[in-house]
A and B are shown apart, each in its own frame.
Chain A
Amino acid sequence: MSGMQTVQPIRFSLLYQSSPVQWTCDGPVVEIVGGGRKHRLTLARASLIAAGFTTPDQAGESLAQRLPRQPRHAVPADEAYEPTVRRNGSTQRYQLLAALILGRCVDGVFDPERPHIWSEKRLSQRVVLFRPRGFYDQ
Chain B
Amino acid sequence: MIRPAKNKPKVASRSEGCRVAPFQKDDQTTQNVSRLESLGVFGYQAIEPVILTALVTRDPLLLIGPAGTGKTYLLNRLSEALGLEHRHYNASLIAFDDLVGFPFPNEDKSGIEYLQTPATVWNAESVLVDEINRCRPEHQNRLFSLIHERRLQGIQIESLIHRWAAMNPCGESSAYDPASSVHYDGAVPLDQALADRFNWVVEVPDWHHLTEREQNAVANPVSDALEPKAAAELALLIAQARTRFEKLLANPSPRVVKYTRLAATLFRKSDLRCSPRRVRQLTRNLLGLAALDDGPLTSGSAFLGLTWGLPHRAWGQSIQPEVIRGVHRTAWDAAFDSGDEAWLNQVLIEPRLHLRVRQILTKAPSENLAGIAVIQTIHQVSDAESLAFAFALYPAALEGRLGLSREGIQALAKRCHHLMDVKGEIKWRASEGSKVPHGRVVDIKKALSRCRGGRRTRGQQLLYGLLIDNKLPRELTSLEQAFHDCVLEVRKRLRKEVA
Contacts and interface: CB of A to CB of B under 8 A. Distances in A.
Interface in B439-470: 441, 453-455, 457-458, 460-461, 464-465, 467-468
B225 interface: no
Using C-beta atoms within 8 Å of the partner chain, give the interface range for chain B.
35 or more
Contacts of A137: 454
Interface stretch (B1-9, B194-202, B418-426): B418-426
A111 B422 contact: no
A106 B430 CA distance: 41
Contacts of A14: 420-421, 457, 461
Contacts of A15: 420-421
Interface string A102-125: 000011110101100000000000
A16 interface: yes
Interface string B339-377: 000000000000000000000000000000000000000
A130 B420 contact: yes
Given A10-B423, A108-B413, A21 B458 contact: yes
Interface stretch (B130-138, B313-321, B393-401): B393-401
Contacts of B208: none
Contacts of B457: 14, 19-21
Contact of B467 (A5, A10, A16, A71): A10
A132 B395 contact: yes
B107 interface: no
B269 interface: no
B29 interface: no
A27 interface: no
Contact of B429 (A6, A13, A108, A131): A6
Interface residues of A, number: 41
Interface stretch (A31-39, A42-50, A72-80, A85-93): A72-80
B423 to A, nearest CB: 5
A52 interface: no
B399 A132 contact: yes
A109 B494 contact: no
Given A20-B453, A20-B457, A107-B417, A8 B425 contact: yes
A39 to B, nearest CB: 27
B277 interface: no
Interface in B465-479: 465, 467-468
Q: Is the interface of A mostly helix, strand, loop or mixed?
A: loop
A1 B430 CA distance: 10
Contacts of B465: 12
B490 interface: yes
Contacts of B422: 10-13
A4 B431 contact: yes
A70 B399 contact: yes
A83 interface: no
B487 interface: yes
B438 interface: yes
A71 B453 contact: no
A135 B455 CA distance: 9
B423 A135 contact: no
Contacts of B417: 73, 75, 107-109
B421 A138 contact: no
10 contacts: A3-B431, A19-B457, A20-B454, A71-B400, A73-B398, A107-B410, A107-B417, A108-B417, A132-B395, A132-B399
Shortest beta-carbon contacts, A-B, top 6 = A138-B454, A132-B395, A3-B429, A108-B417, A135-B395, A138-B453
